[in-house]
Structure 1
Amino acid sequence: MTILHDEGQQAIATESRRVLEARMRKEELLPLLELEGRYHEGFWATAKEQGWTALALPESHGGLALGLVELGLIAHQAGRTLSGAPFLTSGFGAAKAIELYGSDAQKARWLPGLASGDSIGAIAFASGADPLPAQPGVRFADGRLDGIAPAVSGGVAADVAILLSAGADGPVLAVAELAGVERRTVASFDNSRCLADLVFAGTPAARLETGGAARDAALHILALQAVVTAHEQTGGAEALMEIARDYAVTRKAFGQPIGAFQSIKHRIAELYGLVELARANCIHAAAREGADDFITAAAAARLSATEAYDSAARDCVQIHGGIGVTWEIGLHLHMRRARSLALEQGSTLFWEDILVDRLAGEDA
């Protein structure tokens, strides 16, 4: 595949952008920062209504049988408009785990609800620098889970979770229904991510994979989510670049637009380069789903998109000067989201290690 989208994919991008720009309002997102465990219900209702939750899932279970490329286009536009819920990514990750590694009964139980958006999924791997620790904090034994999965994105509202747990003979990838599971809401600088500690106490669960296969499967699911997140990050970076550009050509200082000064124009040009590199990496990674080098491509997309969004969030605030840090203008919404997304699927250190290990293996 080239790094250009075809006509149908461009139509998906155009229509999703039109819908989201018409329905997402900064005034609705700002209050969510001060409310724990709440998300923007309008965004999630739109995602369900438009069929975005079903986009990359099989038709046999209520999906539209498209792919990661098309879902990435939706995530890109969601990033531009600061979608106020994490479930598009986490629901996709949970659904793919069940589709790829689950039994027929598990697919029939969960995939139709995840495709319609009536059920919400979460990926409860460990948070922090290493999302795939050698010793997970949740234990799997005799079909039950015990322990705490910390800071799970979407955990406040999720109905089903996919976990990498510790079993007697090594890692276990498991699926668990969350009805009755204790959820401890985690306050963060981006509360719309609905973070929660999931406390398992003899919770029934089903085994998906074990041993080395479990860890490989978990990395694959994490990479799928990382590609979706990278698209979202790239969309946010693109929006910030455009905001900075528009401000630079209208705001005047010393009798001329501030965009005439080299320190401003060079910074915006650098952001353009970062955004385009991230966009190309995202499209390439999405197109490599199922290929041998998918994990490598996903790591590259994740790293370039994180750099683009972080740089754009920082530079856009600086270009705006004092007004850039005010509550009303809302640039801090992007700053908060950039930092949240930079950590959700594993830190840059984690993905750098993955990329180096993969490249070294390919060269060997």
Structure 2
Amino acid sequence: MSILYDEGQQAIATESRRILEARVHKDDLLPLLQTSGRYHEAFWATAKEQGWTALALPEAHGGLALGLVELGLIAHQAGRTLSGAPFLTSNFGAAKAIELYGSDDQKQRWLPGLASGDVIGAVAIASGPDALPAHPKVTLTNDRLDGVKDGVSGALHADVAIVFANGPGMPVLALVDLAKVEKTAIDSFDNSRCLADLHFADTPAETLVSGSAARAAALHILALQAVITAHEQTGGAEALMEIARDYAVTRKAFGQPIGAFQSIKHRIAELYGLVELARANCIHAASREGQSDFVTAAAAARLSATEAYDTAARDCVQIHGGIGVTWEIGLHLHMRRARTLALEQGSSLFWEDILVDRLAGEAA
């Protein structure tokens, strides 16, 4: 695929940006930081209304049968405007797991609700800081789950979860109805992510994949979510680059715009380079869905997007000086989101290991 979007994809990007800029505002997001367990309901209502929740799912189950490229475009614009809910990514991850590995009955039961957004999904693969644990803390015995999945993004409001667990002598990817599962909300750096611990106690579960294929399936779902997250990170980095640029050409010091100083102009130019590298990696990764090198491309996108967003969040605050750290200006919203997204689908160390292992395997 070309690293340029076609006319239809550009229209998706333009329209989603217009809608989100009109409906998502800083003043709506700031109060969420001080309240645990709440998300920006207007954003999620917009996602459902616009059909973004159904974008990359099959038509047979209420989807629009588009792909990761188009959903990535939406995520990019969501990142620009700091969408106050994590469900665009988690719903997609849960739905793809069911679509790829579930039975016909499971697809009929869950996919239409996930496509409409009326059902919220979560993906619980990690155990603590380990994005893809060799020995998950949760165990599956006789179709019953026991244990705790901690710090699951979006889990506080989720109706269904995809859980990576220890089965009888083998790893298992399981489908769990969360209707009767105890959830403990977590106060976090970015409360709109609705993090929660999921407590399983003799909880009914349905196996999607077991054995050696379960770990590969879990990594594939993680990679799909990582590509969406990378688009969101790139959108946030792009927005910060533009904010820094606009401030630098209007703010004056010593009788001239601060953008005239090399220390400022070079920093903004570096941000531009990081954003464009991340954008190209995101488009490439999204276009490789279903191909043998998809996980490799996803790792590259994830790493470049994390670097772009982290750097942009830090540099934009520094370019603004003292006002950059105030509550009212809101740059800390991006700083919080950058740090949260850097960990949500696995840290940079995890994806570096994945990338090195894949490239070493190809070279061998």
The question of whether the paired residues in 2 share the 8 Å contact of 1:129 and 1:349 is answered with no
Displacement of 1:176 in angstroms is 0.2
Q: Measure, in 2, the Cα distance between the counterparts of 1:156 and 1:164.
A: 18
Deviations 1:302-335 (A, max 9, x none): 0000000000000000000000000000000000
Q: Measure, in 2, the Cα distance between the counterparts of 1:12 and 1:210.
A: 38
Q: Measure, in 1, the Cα distance between the counterparts of 2:328 and 2:81.
A: 16
Structure 2 segments unaligned to the other structure (5+ residues): none
Q: Which amino acid aligns with 1:282?
A: C
Q: Which amino acid aligns with 1:95?
A: A
Q: Measure, in 2, the Cα distance between the counterparts of 1:129 and 1:198.
A: 16
Partner of 2:57: 57
Partner of 2:336: 336
Q: Measure, in 2, the Cα distance between the counterparts of 1:94 and 1:333.
A: 27
Partner of 1:107: 107
Partner of 2:203: 203
Displacement of 1:130 in angstroms is 2.1
Q: Which amino acid aligns with 1:305?
A: A
1:296-315 equivalence runs, <5 A: 296-315=296-315
Partner of 2:157: 157
The question of whether the paired residues in 2 share the 8 Å contact of 1:54 and 1:115 is answered with yes
Deviations 1:80-111 (A, max 9, x none): 00000000000000000000000000000000
The question of whether the paired residues in 2 share the 8 Å contact of 1:323 and 1:329 is answered with yes
Displacement of 1:168 in angstroms is 1.1
Partner of 2:353: 353
SS at match of 2:162: strand
Partner of 1:67: 67
Q: Measure, in 2, the Cα distance between the counterparts of 1:256 and 1:305.
A: 33
Matched, 1:174 2:174: yes
SS at match of 2:289: coil
Percent identical across equivalent pairs?
A: 82
Q: Measure, in 1, the Cα distance between the counterparts of 2:52 and 2:73.
A: 10
Q: Measure, in 2, the Cα distance between the counterparts of 1:188 and 1:157.
A: 16
Q: Which amino acid aligns with 1:82?
A: L
Q: Measure, in 2, the Cα distance between the counterparts of 1:212 and 1:276.
A: 37
Q: Which amino acid aligns with 1:156?
A: L
Matched, 1:121 2:124: no
The question of whether the paired residues in 2 share the 8 Å contact of 1:127 and 1:346 is answered with no
Deviations 1:137-161 (A, max 9, x none): 1100101100000000001000000
The question of whether the paired residues in 2 share the 8 Å contact of 1:271 and 1:308 is answered with yes
Partner of 2:224: 224
- TM-score between both structures, scaled by the size of structure 2: 1.00
The question of whether the paired residues in 1 share the 8 Å contact of 2:183 and 2:199 is answered with yes
- TM-score between both structures, scaled by the size of structure 1: 1.00
Q: Which amino acid aligns with 2:360?
A: A
Displacement of 1:128 in angstroms is 4.3
Q: Measure, in 2, the Cα distance between the counterparts of 1:254 and 1:139.
A: 64
Q: Measure, in 2, the Cα distance between the counterparts of 1:78 and 1:127.
A: 27
Deviations 1:212-257 (A, max 9, x none): 1000000000000000000000000000000000000000000000
Partner of 1:274: 274
SS at match of 1:201: strand
Partner of 1:25: 25
Aligned residues: 364
The question of whether the paired residues in 2 share the 8 Å contact of 1:128 and 1:347 is answered with no
Displacement of 1:190 in angstroms is 0.1
Deviations 1:36-61 (A, max 9, x none): 01000000000000000000000000
Q: Measure, in 2, the Cα distance between the counterparts of 1:235 and 1:337.
A: 12
SS at match of 1:156: helix
RMSD over aligned Cα atoms: 0.5
1:225-244 equivalence runs, <5 A: 225-244=225-244
SS at match of 1:203: strand
Q: Measure, in 2, the Cα distance between the counterparts of 1:304 and 1:155.
A: 27
Q: Which amino acid aligns with 1:230?
A: A
Q: Which amino acid aligns with 2:219?
A: L
Displacement of 1:131 in angstroms is 1.0
SS at match of 2:110: helix
Q: Which amino acid aligns with 1:256?
A: Q
The question of whether the paired residues in 2 share the 8 Å contact of 1:128 and 1:343 is answered with no
The question of whether the paired residues in 1 share the 8 Å contact of 2:127 and 2:137 is answered with no
The question of whether the paired residues in 2 share the 8 Å contact of 1:234 and 1:305 is answered with yes
Displacement of 1:352 in angstroms is 0.1
Partner of 1:257: 257
Q: Measure, in 2, the Cα distance between the counterparts of 1:162 and 1:230.
A: 21
